[in-house]
Amino acid sequence: MALTKLTFDNRFINTLPSDKQEENNQRQVHHAAFSLVSPTKVSNPQLIAVSEDLALMLGFTKEDIKSEQFSQTFSGNTLMDGMQSYAMCYGGHQFGHWAGQLGDGRAINLGEVVTNNNGHQTLQLKGAGPTPYSRTADGLAVLRSSIREFLCSEAMFHLGISTTRALSLSLTGEQVMRDMFYDGHNKNEPGAVVCRVSKSFMRFGSFQLPAQRGDIELLKAMAEHSISSDFPHLLGDTKVFNKQVYLNWFSAICQSTCEMIVNWQRVGFVHGVMNTDNMSILGETIDYGPYGWIDNFDLNWTPNTTDANGKRYRFGAQAEIGQWNLFQLANAIFPLISDAKPLEELLNGYARKYQTLWHEMMLSKIGLRKSELSNKSNGSSPDADDEKLLLELEEILSLIDTDMTIFYRQLAKLPMISASAKQEQWMAIFADCYYQIEQANEQYRQKMSDWLTCYINRFEQDEITFQQHVLLMNQTNPKYVLRNYLAQQAIELAEQGDFTEITRLQALLKYPYQEQIGFEQYANKRPSWAENKAGCSMLSCSS
């Protein structure tokens, strides 16, 4: 059965300059946005997971998903009519250092589908074989990292966080050699391919590389393509690219990046490798490598073994790194603007905007609205009082091992009773969120009691019912997230040929804010066996 015919409009390769060499060998590519390259054919493709709602949005039918051709296409063995496969050229800063040319080393774009209601959507295979940008790597991916990418992409989407999507997950039938922790222990692992989807896979590094090379013509072409394709409203009726259009474009990127990172903090997601080549120009979460979810609240935690010493990409530093990365992008596009002052103003505006959005987000997490009341007794502003309340809470959560996700869901169960209620009543509500409840000594209990007293007093100032308060909290704080140990359990079963846990997690994570009868165990805190287990606590960039 032939797949439903889709309409492809491959604007990226039709608009931008191509690599003149046709050979698929690792090299430096100049004056080009991409190289034409074909996916590596695989021996025995097996489709093991698919996002049906995404497939339908793209224009496929349920019958298409079940077909052999769907499996062959999204493992890289065949191309549909209208597809033209290519790898993108870009550079980037990695762990704060300029790394030069990077590019799609194991990702191959298949083409841009024109959808009925969601515009152009680029289909990209990850793990589809070598490209000119693979350097010394093989361009392949293994099952464990592919499962993590597939599940987390879809989990983030249903959490309401800007992200690339994952259409399909396929085994290739090949074995791929990997050293999981770069410690000399190589082993064969099952190979896999994920098809991921986005309006654009352009990154900060897409503009950094031509700027670093002094290729202003290519830099300008890349910026004009990005604006025309994904920010057309910035051009207005004149369709003229000028300084103000470029500034408005950069402002939009600052805004979407800021919103994305605030949402990461809201749900406890740590990207793990916020290099500039892993930063989407659309402000989407992209490149799910050594990411992790906060179990016990810890602003210094990073899931990335490569980052274990410096902790550059730790949970509490993500906003700062976002601004640092935006500064690198500003440097790259400076030749288009030739005026540092407005770029500096936009970068400073990012910091102010982040603080505003973080403040509003945190108030929502504890079920409060922004205060318009003044505090005449001490002369402080309502925002300052609320900021103190929020920062004190994060300090208390850090004192002992407190499960972040469970704490905020339990906080919604706290009856807004008198502030004079006994300490035992409050502690009983939070007992499930402590990893070692014996850590909750008298000093801790007093701090928590004092904070809860202030919290209840603040709630009483809000013109909001208790039911509205609970609804706001439970719409802000997920009950279910893709905890690291849950993903690892699905991986270990899949490596034995059992894919049922992938399907179960996929279904569960579609409704992360809802109570789901029969799935309560998936909301439990991390079990003790997972605290230091590989894949549950720390991960490497290995795939």
Write the DSSP string, 170-196: EEEEEEEEEETTSSS-EEEEEEEEEEE
Give the Cα separation of 543 and 489 in Å (integer).
Answer: 17
Q: Which residue has the tokens 């406890």?
A: 268
The band of 179, judged by pLDDT with boundaries at 50, 70 and 90, is confident
| pLDDT of 538 higher than 80 | no
Give the Cα separation of 524 and 197 in Å (integer).
Answer: 31
Strand-pair partners of 304: 539
The band of 418, judged by pLDDT with boundaries at 50, 70 and 90, is low
Least confident of 66-70, 77-81, 415-419: 415-419
Q: What is the pLDDT of residue 26?
A: 97
Q: What is the pLDDT of residue 68?
A: 96
Q: What is the pLDDT of residue 181?
A: 63
Average pLDDT over residues 328-347: 98
Alpha helices in 46-86 (DSSP H): 52-58, 62-66, 68-73
Average pLDDT over residues 183-210: 94
Average pLDDT over residues 153-166: 98
1-12, pLDDT tens digit by residue? 689 999 999 999
Give the Cα separation of 184 and 164 in Å (integer).
Answer: 33
Polymer length of the chain: 543
> Chain-wide mean pLDDT for the chain?
94
> 3-class DSSP state for residue 255?
helix
Could you tell me which of 199, 370, 162, 377 has the C-alpha nearest to residue 284?
A: 162
| pLDDT of 374 higher than 50 | no
Give the Cα separation of 235 and 143 in Å (integer).
Answer: 43
Residues 6+ apart with CB under 8 A from 498: none
> 3-class DSSP state for residue 8?
strand
105-117, pLDDT tens digit by residue? 999 999 999 999 9
| pLDDT of 143 higher than 60 | yes
Verify whether residue 277 is a known catalytic residue: yes
Strand ranges for 116-185 from DSSP E: 120-126, 141-142, 165-179
Q: Which residue has the tokens 């980052």?
A: 307
| pLDDT of 443 higher than 60 | yes
Average pLDDT over residues 283-293: 96
The predicted model scores a pTM of: 0.96
> 3-class DSSP state for residue 339?
coil
Q: What is the pLDDT of residue 539?
A: 82
Least confident of 126-140, 248-262, 405-419, 488-502: 405-419
| pLDDT of 375 higher than 50 | no
Give the Cα separation of 404 and 398 in Å (integer).
Answer: 10
Q: Which amino acid would we find at residue 508?
A: L
Percent of the chain with pLDDT over 90: 86
| pLDDT of 415 higher than 80 | no
Give the Cα separation of 281 and 326 in Å (integer).
Answer: 10
Domain ranges of the chain: 11-205, 232-365, 382-463
Task: Answer yes or no: are the C-beta atoms of 435 and 525 closer than 8 Å.
Answer: yes
Average pLDDT over residues 177-195: 85
Give the Cα separation of 355 and 349 in Å (integer).
Answer: 10
Give the Cα separation of 484 and 502 in Å (integer).
Answer: 13
Give the Cα separation of 301 and 311 in Å (integer).
Answer: 7
Give the Cα separation of 216 and 336 in Å (integer).
Answer: 8
| pLDDT of 80 higher than 70 | yes
Q: Which amino acid would we find at residue 10?
A: N
Task: Answer yes or no: are the C-beta atoms of 283 and 240 closer than 8 Å.
Answer: no
Residues 6+ apart with CB under 8 A from 320: none
Task: Answer yes or no: are the C-beta atoms of 328 and 276 closer than 8 Å.
Answer: yes
8-state DSSP, 235: T
Give the Cα separation of 271 and 289 in Å (integer).
Answer: 8
| pLDDT of 200 higher than 70 | yes
Task: Answer yes or no: are the C-beta atoms of 419 and 456 closer than 8 Å.
Answer: yes
Q: What is the pLDDT of residue 301?
A: 96
Q: Which of 19, 104, 230, 277 is an active site residue? A: 277
> 3-class DSSP state for residue 285?
strand
| pLDDT of 87 higher than 50 | yes
Give the Cα separation of 484 and 487 in Å (integer).
Answer: 5
115-142, pLDDT tens digit by residue? 999 999 999 999 999 999 999 889 999 9
Residues 6+ apart with CB under 8 A from 24: 35, 37, 38, 130, 131, 132
Q: What is the pLDDT of residue 377?
A: 46
Q: What is the 3-state secondary structure (H, E, C) of 265-305?
A: HHHCEECCCCCHHHCECCCCECCCCCCEECCECCCCCCCEH
Give the Cα separation of 206 and 219 in Å (integer).
Answer: 8
Task: Answer yes or no: are the C-beta atoms of 363 and 464 closer than 8 Å.
Answer: no
Q: Taking the chain, what is the end-to-end CA distance rounded to the nearest angstrom?
A: 34
